[in-house]
Amino acid sequence: MANDYTNTSEHYLPVPAITDKFSYTREIQDLRTLVNKAMTGLAARDTNADNYLLSAGAAGTLISSAETAPRGRIAPTTANADSTLLFQDNDGASLTDKWVMGWDDSGGAFAIHDAATLPASAQDARFSMTATQTRFSHGDSGATAHTAAEDYVFELAAAGGLSLIAPSAASPQIFLGNADNNDSVRLTWNAANTRAEFGTSVTGAETRLLSDAGVLAMAISSGQEVSIGTTNFGAMLRIDQASTTGAKPALYLDQADTSEEFIRYRGSAANLDLTTSIVEEAAVTTATRAGFVRVYVQDDGNQITDQAYYMPIYTLA
């Protein structure tokens, strides 16, 4: 074995060089024996894990002398107590308690809190996690999460919000999906086109907007048809006022610009053709009045009486 030398100020002593991890096996074992004896003076030995539990100046810390994981543990010195690790600030003059993290025994949760100890209830900690719930809290809101959506909870003690932000020109997104399709619904800020986008990403999917106690307000079909008050379509826009006692019109048009029309029609007429969406006068030989459609007119200029009027409808030949 090659030798090295140690300077003792007066002489050089030969020191065997360590060539692999098995060198000095006896010396290491002797050192470990001495460490073990010192540890036994501080705490009880965990023979199952070959560890020692410190109960004096470092109460709650489990130091491992084993060569297999876990090499370190945190455990309480008494039964049914919290296992915590405290973080402190050192300003050069004193230590100040800042954050604590660990196992909340009574709440059955891993928790992190901005205090010296965990709160009495794990739900009051800034962060807590159980087998069924992950919770972020800025204080007690006085509310309880619905059991159908309590897996991840963000709680506020006052007005606040949740932000999803991205670098300049980038588009933050939220995706909803499942095992069948991980991109079923998207909420996106399209930065490149300066617009918000929300909708489905699945072929044949329909989007619905609910109001009141889960009552359908509006639906958008996979063909981009829009219906209000019904799930039926049949037109690019369909409005159903389905109540026989609703006492309200299906459509209310309020035109504040007096120089503009209420409705603008765009279609195509053909020469002498009665079947097109727009029919020219020259194509009509006979216009037979078939009835009337009721409309209500409100004149804010006070030249026409505000009331219901009837528009004639015709068949053409």
pTM exceeds 0.85: no
Mean pLDDT, to the nearest integer, of 121-130?
A: 93
Does residue 57 have a pLDDT over 50? no
Write out pLDDT tens, residues 185-237.
999 999 999 999 999 999 999 999 999 999 999 999 999 999 999 999 999 99
Collect all residues with Cβ–Cβ distance below 8 Å to 128 and sequence separation of at least 6. 104, 107, 109, 110, 111, 112, 122, 134, 135, 137
pLDDT score, position 220? 96
Distance separating alpha carbons of residues 129 and 152, to the nearest angstrom: 9
Distance separating alpha carbons of residues 141 and 64, to the nearest angstrom: 42
Ordered by start, the domain boundaries in the chain are 3-74, 83-155, 171-201, 206-245, 253-317
pLDDT score, position 77? 75
In 172-285, beta strands by DSSP E: 173-176, 185-190, 195-200, 207-211, 215-220, 226-228, 237-239
Write out pLDDT tens, residues 126-176.
999 999 999 999 999 999 999 999 999 999 999 999 999 999 999 999 999
Q: Is 46 exposed, middle or buried (0-12, 13-18, 19+ CB in 10 A)?
A: middle
How far, in Å, are 153, 163, 311 from residue 159 at the CA level?
16, 14, 53
Query: What rounded mean pLDDT belongs to the chain?
Result: 84
Does residue 289 have a pLDDT over 90? yes
Geometric angle at alpha carbon 101, from 96 and 106, rounded to 5°: 120
Token match 């159903």: residue? 240
CB half-sphere exposure, 97, CA atoms < 13 A: 11
Could you tell me the pLDDT band of residue 14, with boundaries at 50, 70 and 90?
low
Distance separating alpha carbons of residues 208 and 221, to the nearest angstrom: 9
Could you tell me the pLDDT band of residue 1, with boundaries at 50, 70 and 90?
very low
For residues 60 and 77, the answer to whether their CB atoms sit within 8 Å is yes
pLDDT score, position 226? 96
pLDDT score, position 67? 57
